Amino acid sequence: MATDLLIRNVTLVSPAGQRVVNIFIADGAFSAILDPGPLPFVPAAETINGTGLVALPGLIDGHVHFREPGLTHEETWLSGTRAAVFGGVTTVLDMPNTVPPTDSVERARAKLALADASAYCDFGIFGLVGESADRIGEVCSSGLVVGLKAFMGPTTGDLPSPDDDLLFRALEQARTSGLRVAFHAEDRATIEAARSGESRTDAIAHLETRPADAEVRAIERIGALLKATMARGHICHVSSSAGLDAVREWQRREVDLTCEVTPHHALLGRDVYADFGGVAKVNPPIRGEPDAATLLDGLGHDRVGLLVSDHAPHLAADKMRASIWDVPSGFAGTETLLPLMLTAVDDGRLSLERLIHATSEAPAKTWGLWPRKGQVAVGADADLTLVDLERVGEIHAANLHGMNNISPFEGRATIGAVVTTIVRGRVAVRDGQLVAEPGWGQPVRTNSRSSSTA
């Protein structure tokens, strides 16, 4: 078979370890992974010298908000996936709280068409656990979504929190279709009680009205519903030690429950509120130490499966409003996820193998994309990220490639940078330059049977 792209003498890192190889790509898939040696007589159409670089499975960012349709002043599929490929991300999974929300087959189809027209990387979408159980059932069986998402507490878009009866029916529909349900786990009643009578308007007040207790209560309710329905669940962006313990407890009770953490919950301290004010506002809130260290440690020791960005950009002016209650929650993150976490690897706080597992194999298995996505193996999609582990950088919104890049990581030094990103065999970013055309990205094909071993 003719080789379209050859990456020579690159150090391939997989969850199992590291070795120097030549990687052959043909027709968008890995065609051979060979020890360095004499090359075949037939030359490759394109060759990249990988000497001194490390090759990772292309990252799957399992939690992004690309804001299209409806909020295209904040992000679009074009700008969001452009940021993604600069960050070494080759597949994104988009959340359903767009305008309108992704709560019907028609809306799922419309969102996929928007993404298909302009995405630089591959993509999947979540369907919303909205207000109609019948529509949830149709979305589940449509084959258009990688999973469902339910918001248990108030957040961006202020979508309704489903009651137990609706959740029960949604979980049964998801189980029947082989889909997993992702939860934003913050208990609405706990937050509303903490909020009542709150007169402060500073950034820390937001943290104090969203205690870890709200996370634990939501996880308790989710666990009980999963146990009753035997459905599969996933806790998004776990933010506290107590929340992680609650997830572990349900796993011990043989509930199929996976979870994820973000760089901001695992790396930032409480001083972020003094330094960045409302820019740092996110749900659930950044809690600082000791929770952050526990989350990073959980990622390193298999207590947390997935690492995601929760990329959720807003206009800088909106993030800078005087009262914290007027500031929207979330910030950009898909482009900075890998450099930030490579820096934690450089610090010796996380192994490269665990980082890769959390951004490739784990999300691929959790959301039914394995084995086509999430590994460098013959026959799998040729999604590959080449990084220079030594290259230093500094995060500045002005240098990033989304539409609204402000984040509480502004000014932070990094060690480890993305050099080249390859999406299904085609180079999207080469030596820090965008070389792909928009629209190459395709919807992921899910095998509709997410694995419990992630």
Select 62 or 374, whichever has its Cβ closest to Zn ion.
Answer: 62
CB contact at 8 A, 406 and 397? yes
Q: How big is the chain by its Cα radius of gyration, in Å? A: 21
Select 68 or 310, whichever has its Cβ closest to Zn ion.
Answer: 310
Q: Choose among 262, 359, 261: nearest CA to 61.
A: 359
CB contact at 8 A, 90 and 385? yes
Tell me how far, at minimum, the Cβ of 220 lies from Zn ion, in Å: 21
CB contact at 8 A, 417 and 387? yes
CB contact at 8 A, 35 and 8? no
Tell me how far, at minimum, the Cβ of 329 lies from Zn ion, in Å: 9
CB contact at 8 A, 121 and 91? yes
Residue 100: is it exposed, middle or buried by C-beta count within 10 angstroms (0-12/13-18/19+)? middle
Give residue 351's Cα distance to chain centre: 19
Tell me how far, at minimum, the Cβ of 312 lies from Zn ion, in Å: 5
CB contact at 8 A, 280 and 181? no
Amino acid letter, 73: H
Q: Of 257-316, which residues contact Zn ion (CB under 5 A)? A: 310
Select 310 or 381, whichever has its Cβ closest to Zn ion.
Answer: 310
Select 75 or 310, whichever has its Cβ closest to Zn ion.
Answer: 310
Closest chain position to Zn ion (CB): 310
| Cα(352)–Cα(422) distance, integer angstroms | 19
Active-site positions?
310
Q: What size, in residues, is the chain? A: 454
Select 256 or 310, whichever has its Cβ closest to Zn ion.
Answer: 310
Binding mask 139-178 for Zn ion (x = CB under 5 A): ----------------------------------------
Tell me how far, at minimum, the Cβ of 370 lies from Zn ion, in Å: 23
Query: If binding is defined by CB under 5 A, does position 215 make contact with Zn ion?
Result: no
Which helix (H) or strand (E) segment holds residue 190: the answer is: helix 188-195
Tell me how far, at minimum, the Cβ of 92 lies from Zn ion, in Å: 12
Count of residues near Zn ion by CB under 5 A: 1
Select 206 or 426, whichever has its Cβ closest to Zn ion.
Answer: 206
Tell me how far, at minimum, the Cβ of 237 lies from Zn ion, in Å: 7
- Helix ranges (H only) for 360-437 are 361-366
Instruction: Give contact residues for Zn ion (rule: CB under 5 A).
Output: 310
